Homo-oligomer: A and B are copies of this chain.
Amino acid sequence: MLQKPEGSDSTQRAANFSETYRRAYRWMLLARVAEDKIRSLFLGGKVTGGVFLGKGQEAISVATGMALRDGDIFAPLIRDQAGRFAFGESVVDFTMTYIGSRSGPMRGRDGNIHRGRPREGMLPMISHLGAMVSVVNGVLMAHRFQGRRNTVGATSLGDGATSTGAFHEGLNQAAVEKLPLVLVVTNNQYAYSTPTDRQFACADLVEKAVGYGVDGHSVDGTDLTSCLKVIGGAVERARNGFGPQMVVATSLRLSGHGEHDDGHYVLPDLKDSALGRDCLQVSHSHLLKEGWADQETLDSWKRDSISQVDEAVAHAMREPLPDPAREDWCAIASRHLAEGNV
């Protein structure tokens, strides 16, 4: 079940911006703490399969997750832990999927970032990049058929994923159907090891928007304030009937592609540039500077995040692992049509 971790109100949009900002920071912090934890478990050999972090993209992701509300749809991608939490994913869904717990949402059948709860609005990504865009479109088409108004569907992509045919077909479909799709493209300068000049030739990915006939927005992904405003604004425009919105956020991936990768190829110049700023630190300083939180509060939030994560890890560790003998090994829902049953 999707839920809200402790410390959050039921409504995400607070009356004043400082409160929104504080909440956003807490999700970002929780995501960072959770991902740091899974990383160390991975390094300690406690996690099989890949580990992929959203480090440096928490501001973009949280702004997406927070702009959504009940009845909206979110199809997060690999660097969306902050947005997942903000949208309502529990920390145990995160830990249980990485660990592969039988009682987790993916029951050990799928792992790490490939999780979701489709019935609760969070679509489980498949690996094939770009493939979720049209699936979100379909949910939004269903809402239209069902007369469910004012819902929004958001999904994320990287710079690399804009080279896929699926991205293109999906965004064009949304444009033709005038769907309330918000596509948040994060240009984090690399697709795995591939720099952007081997990926696209336009000056800025936001220039793609006009060719689809959709609104385009640019945002500095290291700055939480801008992310909340621009992505939040895009979601509102989609909700208000202005059709698909494409947001291009810029940032730098502050981790390897996955934790098996040291990212040695990331150019030092980029790390030293404004793109290389850590959005979590930037927002941390901003909170202090604006007086929206004092150091003590920030420390307590951190402790709180750590204890939530530790608890969720402990919980996942106690959960049973999948048991092949108890698996039904049946891929289909219509059991009477399973081979052997006919």
Residues of A within 8 A of B (CB): 163-169, 172, 175-176, 178, 197-203, 207-214, 243
The 10 closest A-B pairs by CB, nearest first: A165-B165, A201-B213, A208-B211, A168-B168, A175-B201, A202-B213, A211-B211, A207-B210, A207-B211, A165-B169
Contact of A210 among B168, B199, B210 (CB under 8 A): B210
Q: How far is the CB of A179 from chain B (nearest CB, A)?
A: 11
**Contact A172 B176, CB 8 Å, known A208-B211, A211-B208, A213-B200:** no
Q: How far is the CB of A121 from chain B (nearest CB, A)?
A: 26
Measured between beta carbons, the chain B residues less than 8 angstroms from A212 are 200-202, 208, 211
Measured between beta carbons, the chain B residues less than 8 angstroms from A178 are 201
Q: Could you show 15 A-B contacts with beta carbons less than 8 Å apart?
A: A163-B172, A164-B165, A165-B169, A172-B200, A172-B201, A175-B201, A176-B199, A176-B201, A200-B212, A201-B243, A202-B213, A203-B213, A210-B210, A210-B211, A211-B212
Measured between beta carbons, the chain B residues less than 8 angstroms from A208 are 211-212
Measured between beta carbons, the chain B residues less than 8 angstroms from A172 are 163, 200-201
- What is the copy number of this chain in the assembly? 2
Q: A201-B243, A208-B212 are in contact. List 6 more A-B contacts (CB 8 A).
A: A163-B169, A168-B168, A176-B199, A207-B210, A208-B211, A211-B212
Q: How far is the CA of A27 from the CA of B115 in the complex (A)?
A: 59
Contact A175 B163 (CB under 8 A): no
Contact of A176 among B168, B198, B203 (CB under 8 A): B198
CB nearest to A199 among chain B residues: B176
Q: How far is the CA of A213 from the CA of B172 in the complex (A)?
A: 18
Q: How far is the CA of A214 from the CA of B207 in the complex (A)?
A: 12
Q: How far is the CA of A12 from the CA of B168 in the complex (A)?
A: 38
Q: How far is the CB of A247 from chain B (nearest CB, A)?
A: 15
Measured between beta carbons, the chain B residues less than 8 angstroms from A169 are 163-165, 168
Contact of A211 among B176, B199, B209, B243 (CB under 8 A): B209
Q: How far is the CA of A328 from the CA of B202 in the complex (A)?
A: 49
